[in-house]
Structure 1
Amino acid sequence: MGKRKSRAKPAPKKRMDKLDTVFSCPFCNHGTDVECRIDMKNLIGEASCRICQENFSSIITTLIEPIDIYSEWIDKCERVNNHEEGEDVDQDDSYVPKKRVSTTE
């Protein structure tokens, strides 16, 4: 007599690791002092440093994570620093010359 074929068990689902919500500050370089908060009611994302009181806010969508807000802040700082050194910046980018970037559009 033949043995019945057993059904293969489905593979266990992989758990997604949670992304960070605290980062190092681009101005004062403290380790975990920048905290990113997302306000879904007003569609605003904010990153702020507890030590040097620098902050950054941007308009968000429902798919944005805290790491995305921090990355936008770093990108904006790099664009401002490159523009101060004399490199060209896109014409569409509204640039306001400041020593530090504190808020977005």
Structure 2
Amino acid sequence: MARQAQKEKLPTTFQCLFCNHENSVSVSIEKKSGVGNLQCKVCGQTFQTNTNYLSAPVDVYSDWVDACDAVAKEAAAANTSISRPVNRGGRSRVEEETEDFVVQDDADAEGEYDDY
């Protein structure tokens, strides 16, 4: 008789992307409602995604990784698109505003100091 090859079980616990603890992320799938939930036991991160009747815990984890990558790319794009004011005139705006703040009455007069 030929022996059937055993199916290799897919993991149900994973490494957390935020706190990097091994086997701290557990996944549960509610087949009837079509929802996959993911939660880290250490740092408390949670994620929820839509599933279908073929989905496995590794699929929920994969969706989480993809969602984190998408957020990181959006944040990187937002950081590069922020324009910062550039000082091209050599003087800052504050210097220009306070230029006439100090009025020198006697520019050439020497200060009177007591010698001890």
After TM superposition, the score normalised by the length of structure 1 is 0.70
Q: Residue 33 of structure 2 corresponds to which residue in structure 1?
A: 42
Q: Residue 101 of structure 1 corresponds to which residue in structure 2?
A: none
Any residues of structure 2 matched to 1:47-66 within 5 Å, and which? 47-66=38-57
Q: Greater CA radius of gyration, 1 or 2? A: 2
Q: Tell me which amino acid in the other structure corresponds to 2:40.
A: C
Q: Tell me which amino acid in the other structure corresponds to 1:44.
A: V
Q: What RMSD, in angstroms, separates the aligned Cα atoms of the two structures?
A: 1.3
Of structures 1 and 2, the one with the larger relative CO (CA 8 A, separation 6+) is 1
Partner SS for 1:67: helix
Unaligned 5+ runs, structure 2: 79-116
Q: Percent identity?
A: 33
Q: Residue 14 of structure 2 corresponds to which residue in structure 1?
A: 23
Q: Tell me which amino acid in the other structure corresponds to 1:37.
A: S
Over residues 29-60 of structure 1, what are the superposed CA-to-partner deviations in whole Å (9 max), with x where a residue is unaligned?
11110000011121110111011111001111
Q: Residue 3 of structure 1 corresponds to which residue in structure 2?
A: none
Q: Residue 71 of structure 1 corresponds to which residue in structure 2?
A: 62
**Number of paired residues?**
78
Supply the distance in 2 between the matched residues of 1:31 and 1:57 (Cα, whole angstroms).
20
Structure 1 stretches of at least 4 aligned residues deviating more than 3 Å after TM superposition: none
Supply the distance in 1 between the matched residues of 2:32 and 2:75 (Cα, whole angstroms).
36
After TM superposition, the score normalised by the length of structure 2 is 0.64
Supply the distance in 1 between the matched residues of 2:60 and 2:49 (Cα, whole angstroms).
7
Supply the distance in 2 between the matched residues of 1:42 and 1:62 (Cα, whole angstroms).
10
